[in-house]
Amino acid sequence: MSPNIYSTIFCCIVSFTFAQSLPLQNIGARQVIPLNGSWNIIIDPYETGYYNYRYEPSGDGYFKNKKPITKHDLIEYDFETSGTLNVPGDWNTQRNELFLYEGTVWYKRSFDYTLEAGKRLFVHFGAANYHAIVYLNGEKLGEHIGGFTPFQFEITDKVQQKGNFLIVKVDNKRYREAVPTVNTDWWNYGGLTRDVYLAEVPDTHIGDYTIQLERGSKDRISGWVQLSNETVIKNVAVTIPRAKIHLTGRTDAKGRFFFSGKGNIVRWQPEKPELYDVIITAGSDTVHDRIGFRTIETRGTDILLNGTSIFLRGISIHEESPTHGGRAYSSVDARITLQRAKELGCNFVRLAHYPHNEQMVRMADSMGLLVWSEVPVYWTITWENQATLANALNQMTEMITRDKNRASIILWSVANETPLSEPRLRFLTSLVSHVKSMDSTRLVTAALERHYIDETTQIINDPLGNYLDVLGCNEYIGWYEDLPEKTSRVSWKVEYNKPLIISEFGADALYGFHGDTLTRWTEEYQEYLYKQQIAMLKTISPLRGVSPWILTDFRSPRRPLPKIQDFYNRKGLISNNGEKKKAYWILKQFYEETQMKWGEKEKIAK
Ligand code: GCU
């Protein structure tokens, strides 16, 4: 089927499957009341709160007649005495009995709220992994599938002044048709893993907006503002005081205001991450944002940031907290992790393998790191399942909707290491066309497959490459394939005249385990592999970036080797306790040389 048919399918399935409005743009800037903190929970491995004994959905959760039930047909439940979990936060690292748990946990939080006349109220979730069903005061609001993107429900007509009870069923069971599917090399952290807010906005308010530097321009910005209530005509103003921009106008019949205008802009770049205060007003609603302006494009095998060719000195990162382990969610987590990348000499991070929390991408804007952001279309997805496609398209929509104003993000990735097939190509090309229909200002990539055409020649000719702006490719020569010395005998062929990022290479090393360069799991082996890999990478002419695997050791159920892995993937350059391994310094040195060679210092745009 042609891609646009897929998009049509997507619209039908999405409107049915994901019954919620797209989240408010820049939710953190609204009048919000966080519902973070201690929530009552019920651990429900057999989902007896949802299915009756014949396994038919009773669908009304742990309450009947709109009151929390205290006695269930089969067993008694009482939220008040069933224990608590902190929100935000995964449940795996909060309670030992939940460390490997995959199933349902019910969350309950009570609150009072007086909603002013002329205002609307939303409950907003930064993410819930993986399937959430949300109820307020005994009434189902809707549900959300996907563990790493925000969702919200309007509760204007449902909230009462006293005694509201919000109940969320979160189920992190893996299943074949999901996105990601059942097999992943990261921990399946379940729960309300990011902030939960109540957000109050005027009856007619700013629902969404986008604002970018026009491609090829140094000083003209353009974009649109979308009102929530499309039928209302409102005066809108977009003001960027420091750029001396003030654009006004009225929304059209669809509640949208398109704008364009010139101003004094210093373009955003890693060495000088200029952010501007942007103030958007529409009627009685005002939203403040901090936005950087830059352009990103390709020319042949070059990646051009603000018209200048760059090399992406990157590192891959999973969303694990450097302070408490488990899912990261705070600005403190983001700052520590990205500071580590900066100290390594990076100007680029690959946020693998799913959209990270909004604090991370906003911190990348502030600290000056370019970002590769991706959806968890990972390994062996059920390519021919329409609901799977709709799910992937929806997660991509929610990622781009949330982050389209972040200057740091230059690449949207549609897949990671997906085995070649016709159904896979159809699935991914529909994802690519959907990304481009949503955001024509950024580059599209994926971590592609590669293979040997003879004993020592690697080729990248994955047909998906035809549809991408930038080619990504993971390779583990010297770890999963042969020994590190093999890299000195390997040459590369790339079928496309496009920029290439080696989006993963690496080796496991247990911090503090030492031996010779051929003893696996030692720091010396990892260090030697990095030296060999870097020497090989320098021979690949279309190479314009690397994001080695990975900044920090991270938890994975696929890594059980006792005393070495203990459920950690050990490819980090830094241990999960924050200790730098010997290979860290090899990469740091390579990035210092690269920075000189590419004259990054001299490239600070005027
Ligand atoms: C793959 C995959 C990663 C995984 C890594 C590894 O390339 O993309 O998610 O962790 O290899 O095996 O360590």
Asked if the 215-294 domain carries CATH number 3.40.50.300, the reply is no
Q: What secondary structure does DSSP assign to 467-527, as a single string? A: G-SSEEEE--BTTTBS-GGGGGG-EEEESSSS-EEEEE----B-TT----TTSTBSHHHHH
Cβ–ligand 1 distance for 185 under 6 Å, the answer: yes
Query: Does the beta carbon of 565 sit less than 6 angstroms from any atom of ligand 1?
Result: no
Distance between CA atoms of residues 360 and 371, nearest Å: 10
| CATH 3.20.20.80 residue window(s) in the chain | 297-449+459-470+496-506+543-552+571-605
Q: Is the confidence at residue 11, as pLDDT, over 70?
A: no
Best CATH choice for the domain 297-449+459-470+496-506+543-552+571-605 from the list 3.20.20.80, 1.10.1740.10, 3.40.50.2300, 3.40.50.300: 3.20.20.80
| Atom from ligand 1 closest to the CA of residue 556 | 10
Contact 201, 30 (CB under 8 A): yes
pTM (2 decimals)? 0.94
First to last CA, the chain: 48
412 lines ligand 1 (CB under 6 A): no
pLDDT at residue 302 greater than cutoff 80: yes
- What does the pLDDT read at residue 602? 46
When pLDDT is cut at 50, 70 and 90, the band that residue 23 belongs to is confident
For ligand 1, is residue 549 a contact (CB within 6 Å)?
yes
The b-or-e profile of 161-184 (16+ CB within 10 A means b, else e) is eeebbbbbbbbbbeeeebbbbeeb
Identify which has the larger pLDDT, 166 or 76: 166
Cβ–ligand 1 contact at 571 (below 6 Å): yes
Of all residues in the chain, the percent with pLDDT exceeding 90 is 85
Rounded-to-integer distance, Cα 62 and Cα 48, Å: 9
Ligand 1 mean position, distance from CA 129 (Å): 21
Calpha distance 134→138 (Å, rounded): 10
Tens digit of each residue's pLDDT (9 = 90 or more) over 400-414: 999 999 999 999 999
- Peptide bond before 130: cis, by omega within 30 degrees of 0? yes
Asked if pLDDT for residue 367 goes beyond 50, the answer is yes
The mean pLDDT value for 245-270 works out to 96
Ligand 1 closest atom vs CA 554: 10
Mutational pocket test of ligand 1: of 185, 315, 521, the residue with most ligand atoms within 8 Å of the beta carbon:
185
Query: Could you report the per-residue pLDDT of 175-184, keeping only the tens digit for each?
Result: 999 999 999 9
Region(s) of the chain under CATH 2.60.40.10:
215-294
Q: Tens of pLDDT along 521-567?
A: 999 999 999 999 999 999 999 999 999 999 999 999 999 999 999 99
In the reported structure, the alpha carbon of residue 353 is separated from the centroid of ligand 1 by a whole-number distance in angstroms of 10
- Res 62: pLDDT: 56
Compute, in angstroms, the gap from residue 244 CA to the centroid of ligand 1: 47
d(CA 142, ligand 1 centre) in Å: 34
Please give the mean pLDDT across all residues of the chain. 92
CA distances from 224 to 135, 143, 351, 416 (A): 34, 29, 27, 32
Residue 58 has which token pair? 């009773």
Going by CA atoms, what residue is nearest to atom 6 of ligand 1?
A: 185
> Coil, helix or strand for 313?
strand
112-150 confidence digits (pLDDT tens): 999 999 999 999 999 999 999 999 998 999 999 999 999
Q: How far is the CA of 337 from the centre of ligand 1 (A)?
A: 19
Position 597 scores a pLDDT of 83
What is the tens place of the pLDDT at every residue in 29-85? 998 999 999 999 999 999 988 887 788 887 555 555 545 554 444 455 678 888 999
Homologous superfamily of 3-201:
Galactose-binding domain-like (2.60.120.260)
Q: Cα separation of 361 and 358, whole Å?
A: 5
**Beta-strand relationship, 131-136 and 164-171:** antiparallel
Question: For residue 474, how far is its CA from the centre of ligand 1 (angstroms)?
Answer: 8
Give the gyration radius of the chain's Cα atoms: 24
- Comma-separated ranges of CATH 2.60.120.260 domains in the chain: 3-201
Q: What angle do CA 550, 553, 554 make, to 5 degrees?
A: 100
Query: 543 Cβ partners below 8 Å, 6+ apart?
Result: 500, 501, 502, 537
